């Protein structure tokens, strides 16, 4: 399952023809799981006694394993990490302890599993939540992914926020709705907790600023269709990552154009079908 590989989507807001924003799910295509692995290899390393103090619970109990311990060991939230480093050195200042805890969490953000800086769960609490969401088809890996954030997700959320701000400043508010609709579907599909509030905030902004609320909702729906379709096509295409990239971007462009210009899209498809129909007719006659 893609979610069990902890797929991380990076969103890039671009502007297509007719000054309509298009959201491409670049993370799906460029292999953001590979990006997370690279970041972990380059940046997620321990160096000193502060690191050992924060990882002490996991090293002694192995609670949650390598996939879940940042969420379950109680020492990889801001408060938990700070508490863990307080007794490392008796003469440390408050600022030193805060910096050491923050620096460790920053490096752990570069891990594949990521962290939740705000809270931790016990193993029992995690099992209870997993049991509640299981009837909705949400697995434990997906749940853990939704409750933590790693480097590619953080980068994706920042790019999404920047593109939303740029579109909101330069274009009609309904364009923000289309972009946010795309981000909303992608955030749900990729369990990106950084992207979801950006998408939700963009939709709220668009609805509050647009004179035509109905049009804003329609644009949001179009964005969701474009994003969902590109995710589906990119996921179905096998082979190298770049092949999925081309397929997903092509699908996003084609579907976005079709939604904005249905009559022109229909005429183009009709013109494309005519030569094929003519060839098939000739083949049929020759066989007959």
Tens-place pLDDT, residues 91-131: 899 999 999 999 999 999 989 889 999 999 999 999 999 99
Tens-place pLDDT, residues 124-177: 999 999 999 999 888 999 999 999 999 888 888 898 899 888 888 877 787 888
Domain ranges within the chain, ordered by starting residue:
3-37+149-271, 45-109+115-146
Report the relative pairing of strands 11-15 and 21-25 from DSSP bridges: antiparallel
d(CA 232, CA 253): 14
Tens-place pLDDT, residues 52-89: 999 999 999 999 888 899 999 999 999 999 999 998 99
The pLDDT mean for the chain works out to 78
DSSP 8-state assignment for residue 1:
-
- Provide mean pLDDT across the span 272-279: 61
d(CA 81, CA 67): 18
């Amino acid at each position: 399952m893609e979610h069990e590989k902890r797929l991380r989507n990076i969103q890039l807001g671009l502007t297509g023809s007719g000054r309509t924003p298009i959201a491409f799910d670049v993370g799906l295509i460029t292999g953001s799981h590979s990006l997370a692995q690279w970041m972990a290899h380059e940046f997620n390393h321990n160096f000193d006694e502060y690191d050992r103090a924060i990882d002490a619970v996991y090293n002694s109990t192995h609670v949650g394993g390598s996939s879940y311990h940042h969420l379950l060991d109680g020492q990889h939230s801001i408060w938990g990490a700070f508490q863990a480093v307080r007794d490392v050195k008796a003469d440390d200042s408050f600022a030193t302890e805060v910096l050491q805890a923050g620096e460790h969490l920053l490096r752990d953000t570069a891990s594949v599993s990521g962290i939740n800086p705000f809270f931790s769960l016990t193993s029992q609490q995690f099992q209870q939540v997993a049991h509640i969401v299981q009837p909705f088809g949400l697995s434990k890996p997906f749940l853990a992914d939704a409750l933590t954030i790693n480097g590619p997700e953080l980068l994706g959320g920042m790019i999404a926020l920047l593109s939303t701000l740029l579109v909101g400043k330069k274009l009609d508010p309904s364009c923000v709705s289309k972009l946010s609709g795309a981000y909303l579907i992608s955030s749900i599909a990729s369990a990106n907790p950084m992207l979801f509030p950006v998408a939700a905030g963009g939709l709220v902004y668009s609805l509050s600023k647009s004179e035509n609320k109905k049009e804003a909702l329609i644009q949001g729906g179009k964005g969701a269709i474009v994003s969902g379709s590109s995710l589906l096509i990119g996921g179905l295409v096998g082979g190298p990552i770049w092949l999925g990239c081309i397929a997903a971007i092509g699908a996003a462009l084609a579907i976005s154009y079709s939604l904005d210009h249905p009559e022109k899209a229909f005429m183009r498809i009709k013109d494309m079908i005519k030569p094929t129909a003519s060839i098939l007719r000739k083949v049929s006659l020759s066989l007959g």
